Amino acid sequence: MARFKYVAKDMSGKVHKGTVEAASENALTQQLREENLYLVEAKDLNGAKKHKKLKAKQLAAFCRELSTLLASGVTLVRALDIISEQEGMNKDERDIYKDVLQDLKRGISLSDAMESKECFPDLMIGMIRSGEGSGNLDLVTQRLSIQYEKDYKLTQQVKSAMTYPCILLVLCVAIVILIVTFILPQFQSLFDQMESLPMITNILIAVSNFLVQKWYIALLIVAVIVALIRIIVGIPSVRRGVDWLKVHMWGFGKLFKVVYTARFARTLSSLYSSGMPLVSAVGVAAKTIGNGYVESQFDEVITMVRGGVPLSQGLREVDGLLKKLSSTILVGEESGRLDVMLDSIAETLESDAEQATKRMVTLLEPILIIFMALIVGCIMIGVMLPIYQSYSAIENA
């Protein structure tokens, strides 16, 4: 239980200050609303340790184990106790589960305890809160385990598919550095004896001399460029532009759309089937898409759904999701089986994403090989061209 120092206002605008214990900032907000107060600012006086956010693989394992224990009749407190004592997890993960366990023993709900740790995703907190209300916590955690297992599997598939192209790219850079810094200097004495050199050779010599003699400056330049890119990409407007580019770039745009649509459909299905109201489920599911540009369009969608517009119609104009999603949701709305249809399209799109990733890698491999050949070829031309010209001059003489 955290202790908060808060500033709140009542309906007349009068400011109220104080300190109070609450499971989380959201719990504090609800507590103050019961007193007709509205939270303006809150500060955690406990200064609780900040944990790293749990990864999909960790969340899947936790939910699967919790579901199994609850389904077998073990109490929630005992289940958390068992999970927190298991082997094979790092210290930070174990500390998170033990902190949640301590909150449960104080009478705090599981969802509030998780929310206060700030390392569990909104999707998980929302679904567990719905499961607590409906009494189906074992079924909800089972669905969550499936959700995070699929997220982890898709992420690993993309990483595995991109491994070979990344190796090719690194190999290309290594070959260029090797030629320019070790092989090219061996020809320096020969080049010095020539009266004139082709432009490409002069450029290669200048680059070679710089990398050999001023390598520390080259490393500093690379570090500065990387830092600048990270800072620039961190700017909200730039980040939004990058996210827009992801769904519009040639070749990769379709793949990103498939992944985003599958992720949204799977999450919405899990939330809706767990008993969460549709508007709330759409809001939480939108935050899991992983693209700020696409997510920003959901404010209008939620407003439309609140106003009585069907979800299928609201999603139709969302740029970054496949139109196939709104058509499937329309069928689900008409048949009254929205969760089933969402599950169905999520399964289809996850399979499509896997196939699209493989096709993209198949396309990337020859492109990278051609790129490597061009770079190495240009370097070899720069080295061999002056030698060939000198031999030609000797023969003509």
Q: Give per-residue pLDDT as tens, 336-370.
A: 888 788 888 888 887 887 787 777 777 777 888 88
Between 110 and 386, the more confident residue is: 110
Residue spans of beta strands (DSSP E) within the chain: 2-9, 15-22, 38-44
How is residue 223 written in tokens? 């570090």
C-alpha 215, offset from chain centre: 35
Residue 70 token pair: 């609850």
Lowest mean pLDDT among 49-53, 216-220, 279-283: 49-53
The model's pLDDT over 8-56, given as tens digits with 9 standing for 90+, comes to: 888 777 888 888 777 667 777 878 888 888 777 777 666 555 678 888 8
Mean predicted confidence (pLDDT) in 199-213: 83
- Decide if 6 contacts 32 (C-beta within 8 A): yes
pLDDT digits (tens, 9 = 90+) for 192-204: 777 777 888 888 8
Closest of 392, 280, 269 to residue 337, by C-alpha = 269
Mean pLDDT of the region 164-192: 81
Average pLDDT over residues 283-287: 85
Give the residue among 92, 81, 138 at the shortest CA–CA distance from 274.
138
Share of the chain above pLDDT 90, in %: 5
> What value does the mean pLDDT take over residues 221-240?
87
In three-state form (DSSP H/G/I as H, E/B as E, the rest C), the secondary structure along 250-261 is CCHHHHHHHHHH
The predicted model gives 297-323 an average pLDDT of: 88
Looking at the DSSP bridge assignments, the partners of residue 17 are 7
Q: What are phi and psi of 17, to 5 degrees?
A: -125, 155
Average pLDDT over residues 130-138: 82
pLDDT given at position 395: 66
Do 208 and 181 form a contact (C-beta atoms < 8 A)?
yes
Q: Which of 128, 142, 136, 147 is nearest to 67 (CA)?
A: 142
Out of 94-108, 136-150, 229-243, 356-370, pick the least confident: 356-370
SS3 196: coil
Mean pLDDT value across residues 307-317: 87
Q: Of 326 and 391, which is predicted with more confidence?
A: 326
Encoded tokens for 103: 């909150």
Place of tokens 């997510």: 295
Residue 160 has pLDDT above 60, yes or no: yes
pLDDT (tens digit, 9 = 90+) per residue, 51-106? Answer: 788 888 899 999 999 999 999 988 999 998 998 888 778 888 888 888 888 888 88
| Surface-to-core class of residue 240, CB atoms within 10 Å of its CB (0-12 exposed, 13-18 middle, 19+ buried) | middle
**Alpha-carbon dihedral of residues 100, 101, 106, 107, nearest 10 degrees?**
80
Residues in the chain: 397
pTM: 0.68
Mean pLDDT along residues 289-318? 88
Residues 6+ apart with CB under 8 A from 209: none
Residue with more model confidence, 354 or 310 = 310
- Supply the mean pLDDT for the chain: 83
pLDDT confidence bin for 224, thresholds 50/70/90: very high
Helix (H, G, I), strand (E, B) or coil at 153: helix
Alpha carbon of 308 to those of 264, 277, 284, 303, 323: distances in Å? 21, 14, 19, 9, 21
- Average pLDDT of the residues in 135-160: 83
